[in-house]
Amino acid sequence: AAGIAGYGNPLGIPNIGGDLYYHEGYNENCLVTLVTLGIVRENDIIHSYAPKNAAGYDLILVGKPTDNSGFGGASFASLELEEEKKEQNKGAVQEPNAFLERHLLKSTYALFEVLKEKGLVENIGFKDLGAGGVACASVELAETSGYGSEVWMDKIHIGMDNLHPSVYLCSETQERFMWVSPPEVTALILDHYNKVFDLPGVSAGAMASVIGKIRADGQYIVHNGNEEIVNVPAAEVTEGFLYDRPYEVRKNNFTEPNLSEPVDYNQVLLDILSHENMASREPIFEQYDKQVQGRSFTETGLADSGVLAPFNSEKYPEEIRNVGIALSTDHNPRHGLISPYWGGVNAVVEAMRNVTAVGATPHAITDCLCFGNPENPHQMWEFVESVRGVADACHAITLKDNPNDATPIIAGNVSFYNESKTGAIPPSPIVSCLGKLKDVNKTIPMAFQKTDSILLMVGKRKDEFGGSVYYSLYGELGANVPKPNLEEVKNQIFALTDCIDNGLILSSHDIADGGIASSIAEMTFGNEIACEVTISGEMSKDKLLFSETGGFVLEVTSENIDAVKNTFFKYGLGVDVIGRTIVQPSLVINDVINLSVRKVKEAWTNGLREKL
């Protein structure tokens, strides 16, 4: 968290949301995954491949001088971690310089504008240097367009002498970019970075240098002094290996524990809300800059998703200035342990429900798929099943404005070999959902807005305790993981966003971790407005209140109940009236929970902070 803040804050990028999950399976192999949103006009997109007729074009390396930091980072990420090799592996971690990155971004955005003004956007290529460093960038920029490339190692600006050529070629030193440039434009790019933005004066050794050229013959050639150290068809470098790995069903006999119904429901709710996987994430997000750029509409922690107004300035057309975007990230490793398939499904569904709860329609997802060793047939099966779950959810929950089209997966990555001597991490498909609001001013919060409102429940309660926070209180995992009906989820999303768009909902919160009792409690915190609720059903009260079957809790005025019911009915759904907000300061649920809102809020507010 400190690393994200220490890099993101100096860059001036707001952090509008995220997810946090503690599980013993991550103790020796923690995961940090990030999703970044940017905006660009469609006709201004700069591609990460060489343009047409690019034979003879220059390869320009921009940024920090290459050293040995991050050498082997990509391959290191695919190692099973061993404690005794901790010092040996340190070189595989990049050493970032956020202030140089900020200067590089500023100078590069300015160069984008120059290139657009000169009509050169279609004549260049541009790529960030990531895994594999100069080697990967120089061959991928070329081969993607059917070309080869040639690199001269002695032209790479370096920060350390006497390193092996493989280090200069493959080191993953941070803060570097590469351009493919027509020779007649090269001087403009070099002067822009080296003189106009004075890279050498900003950071020692930083600069823009021509290090190679695009070749028409498809060969990838690297020279080290007078020696040719690589000469191979570029396609053989980039195509990689296609594995058809065997996979085998992991046979587990998960069962539901035989737990007695709680004696003290008040204490159970307090224990759930103070659990490290439920309590307020403020100790994390208070480290982040959430309002920089002036585009944050709903900050982290105030609703199920962060919301931005990305076009709220005069540089954008007036008709889109009120468009909002929402972002949510979700996963639950305990679901994946029970069923990797339903773990994948639920990660997508939960992320989509979260953007829906603020009024946004899901438009796209990204996925970060983190797993153990794919050479192990059982762990390969976990990967196959999780991907199948993600895909099934995206195909079933189609786009609202284009209901025949699946929700697209527009980015992502895969991380294998997340293992240590204690074993592999839990199957971890981590999903981010991007939602769109036609009018950001119609965004609704999570907190109750007024007293004497009517509370509605969307989605019947089921016996789905598997992987729940409730079971974790007793050291149990369970078997009955939530298995959402994807057609029902899609219709819930469509109906609720219709209601929010029509101004019928005061506040909204999805039902997930901790069950409906936890969702209702969280809605009381923002304005300290209490409620009286009765959840009806045939199951025992613990299952009704704490089972993690998905859905929504909605706050509406009495005048709007019929309109909300009619909207849901149009999609073949019902909603249940479960209670109302009240003036009295106590949270009352099913006659078994009766707690002051302030006491419940205190448990939730301090739960994680006290543990940290």
In terms of DSSP bridges, do strands 409-415 and 361-370 run parallel, antiparallel, or are they unpaired?
Answer: parallel
What span, in angstroms and rounded, lies between the C-alpha atoms of 353 and 336?
19
Provide DSSP, 285-297: HTTS--SGGG-EE
Q: Which helix (H) or strand (E) holds 215?
A: strand 207-215
Mean local confidence (pLDDT), 28-50: 92
**101 vs 7, 175, 519, CA distance in Å?**
9, 6, 40
Taking 70 as the threshold, does the pLDDT of residue 78 lie above it? no
User: How would residue 11 be classed by pLDDT, with cut points 50, 70 and 90?
Assistant: confident
pLDDT at 300: 84
Task: Give the integer Cα–Cα distance in Å for 239 and 247.
Answer: 23
CB proximity list for 151: less than 8 A, separation 6 or greater: 59, 134, 138, 169, 211, 212, 221, 222, 223
Asked if residue 163 has pLDDT above 80, the reply is yes
Cα 163 → chain centroid? 36
Estimate the crossing angle of helix 265-273 against helix 597-611, to 10 degrees. 40
Q: What is the 8-class DSSP label of residue 25? A: G
* 168-184 confidence digits (pLDDT tens): 999 998 899 999 999 99
- pLDDT tens sequence across 359-400: 999 999 999 999 999 999 999 999 999 999 999 999 999 999
Average pLDDT over residues 252-256: 92
CATH of domain 40-238: 3.90.650.10
Q: What is the per-residue DSSP string for 43-96?
A: GGPPPSS--TT-TTPEEEEEESPB-STTTTHHHHTTSPP-GGGTTGGGGGS---
Written out in words, the top-level CATH class of the domain with range 265-611 is alpha beta
Question: Bridge-partner residues for 64, per DSSP?
Answer: none
- pLDDT band of residue 80 (cuts 50, 70, 90) is low
Q: Identify the sign of the CA torsion 256, 258, 263, 267.
A: negative
Alpha carbons 607 and 612: distance in angstroms, whole number: 9
- pLDDT value for 68: 86
Six-digit token pair at 215?
A: 């070749």
Lowest-confidence pick of 64-68, 430-434, 557-561, 581-585: 64-68
DSSP at 425: P
Confidence of residue 92 (pLDDT cuts 50, 70, 90): very low
| Joined tokens for residue 189 | 């790019």
pLDDT bucket at 90, cuts 50 / 70 / 90: very low
Q: Which two tokens stand for residue 408?
A: 């697209």
Mean pLDDT of 237-252: 90
pLDDT value of position 162: 86
pLDDT at res. 456 = 98
Q: What is the mean pLDDT of the chain?
A: 93
With beta carbons less than 8 A apart as the criterion, state whether 492 and 459 touch: yes
Q: Determine the 3-state secondary structure of 579 from DSSP.
A: strand
At residue 89, the pLDDT reads 47
| pLDDT tier at 72, thresholds 50, 70, 90 | low
> Does position 93 have pLDDT exceeding 60, yes or no?
no
Residue 37 has pLDDT above 70, yes or no: yes
pLDDT in the model for residue 12? 87
pLDDT of residue 87: 47
Domain edges within the chain: 40-238, 265-611
CA distance 354 to 330: 9
**pLDDT higher than 90, residue 441:** yes
> Is the pTM higher than 0.85?
yes
